[in-house]
Amino acid sequence: AQSVTQLDSQVPVFEEAPVELRCNYSSSVSVYLFWYVQYPNQGLQLLLKYLSGSTLVESINGFEAEFNKSQTSFHLRKPSVHISDTAEYFCAVRYNQAGTALIFGKGTTLSVSS
């Protein structure tokens, strides 16, 4: 079955430290990849997406993710985090030959402290 695995349920880091949130998906067939963020008491917001083209995609607030087809991964990185980045992050995949539904991972809680 198609699935998405987020390897870390919780990631605690100090402010200004680098962070990587890992995401792997189960199949290497044609996919679209997404990271969504959910801030406390807010809804899901799209952070960044990979549809085609350059395998490195960036968000407006300094996050980036790289599509690695051979490793079926789409890890999220930020070189220096802020307290305001504290949130839950969800990796999602759409398998293009399996309809339009997004398949989500279980989420990673990023906690940034000073």
Partner 1 sequence: GAGVSQTPSNKVTEKGKYVELRCDPISGHTALYWYRQSLGQGPEFLIYFQGTGAADDSGLPNDRFFAVRPEGSVSTLKIQRTERGDSAVYLCASSISRRDTQYFGPGTRLTVL
Asked if 11 is part of the footprint of partner 1 (rule: CB under 8 A), the reply reads: no
Q: Confirm if 79 and 19 have CB atoms less than 8 A apart.
A: no
Asked if 100 is part of the footprint of partner 1 (rule: CB under 8 A), the reply reads: yes
Asked if 36 is part of the footprint of partner 1 (rule: CB under 8 A), the reply reads: yes
Q: Give me the DSSP letters along 49-78.
A: EE-SS-SEEE-TTS-EEEEETTTTEEEEEE
SS3 category, 85: helix
Cβ at position 56, least distance to partner 1 in Å: 18
Q: Considering beta carbons, is residue 13 or 44 the nearer one to partner 1? A: 44
Residues that bind partner 1 (CB under 8 A): 4, 6, 34, 36, 42-46, 49, 90, 92, 99-107
